[in-house]
């Protein structure tokens, strides 16, 4: 039997574009691997994005901006193109912008904390057309994955305008499969991956991280024994109407909500799955402490969601009495 040792080569690589060739692969594996990598590249890599803005004198997105050529809708479209890199998992973070007098306002005018690196400082935001113009804007930046429409965000303060958050740092990803030759055999695949990013991550880093995510997922599947699979299916019988409920329905505090979102927990069912393993599973989430856990348990009980995992975890009489007392 012929031994095959696939290699990966960078045919082109820059800050925003990369072309990688992976092969030789067994026939059919090029499409399998390419499709899996592409889907992860476009949906599962974390990034930073503006989730809301607050402009002095502007109460909603249809309010005109004093002494500016652009309206608020155009400003929001420009802000959505702002690309950043957030160092660390802290968030949300607040950025500010102040401009005075006539002239162009760009992303370079934004005052950002040390954790935020603005990738495209030349981005045009708006044009002030009066020497008396005074423009002040606050921007809220958070970390996440994929795309979150503005209406899916948490409750905002008065005059805070939500913004569609495009978190993914990968702008485009394509692949094609070519024929590869191994000795006298020509029925092998060569996978050609092309990746375009926003500059907050290099294409090489994006490809590597996507592969790690796939390895982690497949490793979990490979670790299943037959009995464990049956047991897992039996234990996961949470009604779909409860499982698919977005965590926004719990009306949690901003801190607790953001902790869950940063941990990629977006559905009530995902919380209940962790609770079945024990409350300590939730306490392992970064910055999610006992106070946040108590609040979460109270909301789940009020909504009746805990009934889906009866008997509840840690349901010793003393613990139950303690919760009733709260």
Asked if residue 248 and residue 285 are part of one domain, the reply reads yes
Query: What per-residue confidence (pLDDT) applies to 323?
Result: 38
Placement of tokens 């067994």 in the chain: 26
Query: Residues with Cβ < 8 Å from 16, sequence gap 6 or more?
Result: 171, 196, 197, 198, 199, 203
Asked if residue 38 and residue 60 are part of one domain, the reply reads no
**193 domain residue, yes or no:** yes
Asked if residue 79 and residue 37 are part of one domain, the reply reads no
Asked if residue 189 and residue 266 are part of one domain, the reply reads no
CATH label of the domain that carries residue 272? 1.10.150.20
**21 domain residue, yes or no:** yes
**294 domain residue, yes or no:** yes
**321 domain residue, yes or no:** yes
Asked if residue 251 and residue 268 are part of one domain, the reply reads yes
What are the distances in angstroms from CA 35 to CA 21, 38, 94, 192, 275?
14, 5, 37, 11, 34
DSSP calls for 241-261: HHHT-BGGGG---HHHHHHHH
Asked if residue 176 and residue 149 are part of one domain, the reply reads no
Task: Kindly tell me the burial class for residue 72, based on how many C-beta atoms sit within 10 Å of its own C-beta (0-12, 13-18, 19 or more).
Answer: buried
Question: How sure is the predictor about 310, in pLDDT bands with cuts at 50, 70 and 90?
Answer: low
Query: What per-residue confidence (pLDDT) applies to 312?
Result: 43
In this prediction the pTM is 0.63
**2 domain residue, yes or no:** no
Question: How sure is the predictor about 6, in pLDDT bands with cuts at 50, 70 and 90?
Answer: confident
Evaluate the CA torsion angle 148, 208, 93, 252 in order and state its sign.
positive
Asked if residue 146 and residue 99 are part of one domain, the reply reads yes
What are the distances in angstroms from CA 111 to CA 107, 114, 238?
9, 10, 46
Express each pLDDT in 264-301 by its tens digit: 888 888 899 888 888 888 888 888 899 999 999 999 98
Mean pLDDT (the chain, rounded) = 84
Q: CB count, 10 Å around CB of 25?
A: 20
Please give the Cα distance from 50 to 162 (Å, whole number).
9
Query: What per-residue confidence (pLDDT) applies to 40?
Result: 95
Express each pLDDT in 155-193 by its tens digit: 777 888 999 999 999 999 999 999 988 877 778 999 999
Question: How sure is the predictor about 87, in pLDDT bands with cuts at 50, 70 and 90?
Answer: confident
User: Which residue segment(s) compose the domain that 197 sits in?
Assistant: 7-45+169-223
Q: 120, 138, 165: which is the final residue of a domain?
A: 165
Q: 148, 165, 182: which is the final residue of a domain?
A: 165
Query: What per-residue confidence (pLDDT) applies to 313?
Result: 46
**1 domain residue, yes or no:** no
CB 97, CB 105: distance < 8 Å: yes
Burial string for 90-110 (b: 16+ CB within 10 Å, else e) reads ebbbebebebeeeeebbbebb
pLDDT for residue 200 is more than 50:
yes
**125 domain residue, yes or no:** yes
Express each pLDDT in 97-116 by its tens digit: 999 999 999 999 999 998 89
pLDDT for residue 91 is more than 80:
no
Evaluate the CA torsion angle 116, 202, 207, 18 in order and state its sign.
positive
CATH label of the domain that carries residue 109? 2.170.120.12
User: 52-66, 203-217, 243-257, 310-324: which has the minimum mean pLDDT?
Assistant: 310-324
Asked if residue 144 and residue 62 are part of one domain, the reply reads yes
Partnered with residue 48 across adjacent β-strands are: 84, 143
Express each pLDDT in 27-45 by its tens digit: 899 999 999 999 999 999 9
Asked if residue 16 and residue 87 are part of one domain, the reply reads no
CATH label of the domain that carries residue 22? 3.30.1360.10
How do strand 134-145 and strand 7-13 relate by DSSP bridges?
A: unpaired
Query: What per-residue confidence (pLDDT) applies to 149?
Result: 86
Query: What per-residue confidence (pLDDT) applies to 311?
Result: 55
Count of structural domains within the chain: 3
Higher pLDDT, 139 or 63: 139
Token pair belonging to 51 = 């989730």
pLDDT for residue 57 is more than 50:
yes
Query: Residues with Cβ < 8 Å from 266, sequence gap 6 or more?
Result: 246, 247, 260
DSSP class of residue 168 equals -
Asked if residue 52 and residue 152 are part of one domain, the reply reads yes
Query: What per-residue confidence (pLDDT) applies to 2?
Result: 52
Q: 183, 200, 223: which is the final residue of a domain?
A: 223
Token pair belonging to 322 = 């303690």
Asked if residue 76 and residue 138 are part of one domain, the reply reads yes
Question: How sure is the predictor about 243, in pLDDT bands with cuts at 50, 70 and 90?
Answer: confident
How much is the average pLDDT of 124-132?
92
**263 domain residue, yes or no:** yes
What are the distances in angstroms from CA 313 to CA 36, 95, 219, 278?
36, 41, 27, 6
Please give the Cα distance from 163 to 80 (Å, whole number).
7
Asked if residue 184 and residue 38 are part of one domain, the reply reads yes
Question: How sure is the predictor about 211, in pLDDT bands with cuts at 50, 70 and 90?
Answer: very high
């Amino acid at each position: 039997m012929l031994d095959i040792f696939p290699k990966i080569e960078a045919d082109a690589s820059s800050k925003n574009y990369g072309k990688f060739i992976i092969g030789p692969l067994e026939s059919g594996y090029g499409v399998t691997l390419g499709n899996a990598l592409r889907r992860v590249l476009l949906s599962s890599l974390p990034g930073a994005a503006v989730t809301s803005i607050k402009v002095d004198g502007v109460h909603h997105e249809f309010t005109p901006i004093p002494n500016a050529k652009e309206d608020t809708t155009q400003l929001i479209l420009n802000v959505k193109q702002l690309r950043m890199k957030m160092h660390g998992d802290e968030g949300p973070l607040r950025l500010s912008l102040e401009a005075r007098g006539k002239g162009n306002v760009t992303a370079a005018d934004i005052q950002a904390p040390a954790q935020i690196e603005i990738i495209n400082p030349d981005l045009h935001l708006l044009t002030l057309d009066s020497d008396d113009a005074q423009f002040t804007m606050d921007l809220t930046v958070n970390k996440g994955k994929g795309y979150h429409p503005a209406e899916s965000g948490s409750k905002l303060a008065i005059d805070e305008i939500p913004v569609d958050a495009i978190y993914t740092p990968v702008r485009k990803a394509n692949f094609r499969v070519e024929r590869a030759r191994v000795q006298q055999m020509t029925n092998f695949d060569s996978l050609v991956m092309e990746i375009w990013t926003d500059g907050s991550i290099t294409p090489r880093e994006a490809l590597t991280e996507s592969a790690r995510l796939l390895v982690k997922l497949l490793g979990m599947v490979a670790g299943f024994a037959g009995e464990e699979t049956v047991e897992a299916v039996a234990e996961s019988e949470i009604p779909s109407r409860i499982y698919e409920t977005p965590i926004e329905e719990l009306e949690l505090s901003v801190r607790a909500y953001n902790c869950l979102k940063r941990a990629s927990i977006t559905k009530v069912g995902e919380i209940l799955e962790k609770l079945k393993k024990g409350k300590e599973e939730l306490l392992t989430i970064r910055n999610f402490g006992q106070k946040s856990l108590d609040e979460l348990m109270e909301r789940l009980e009020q909504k009746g969601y805990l009934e889906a995992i009866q008997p509840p975890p840690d349901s010793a009489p003393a613990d139950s009495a303690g919760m009733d007392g709260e």
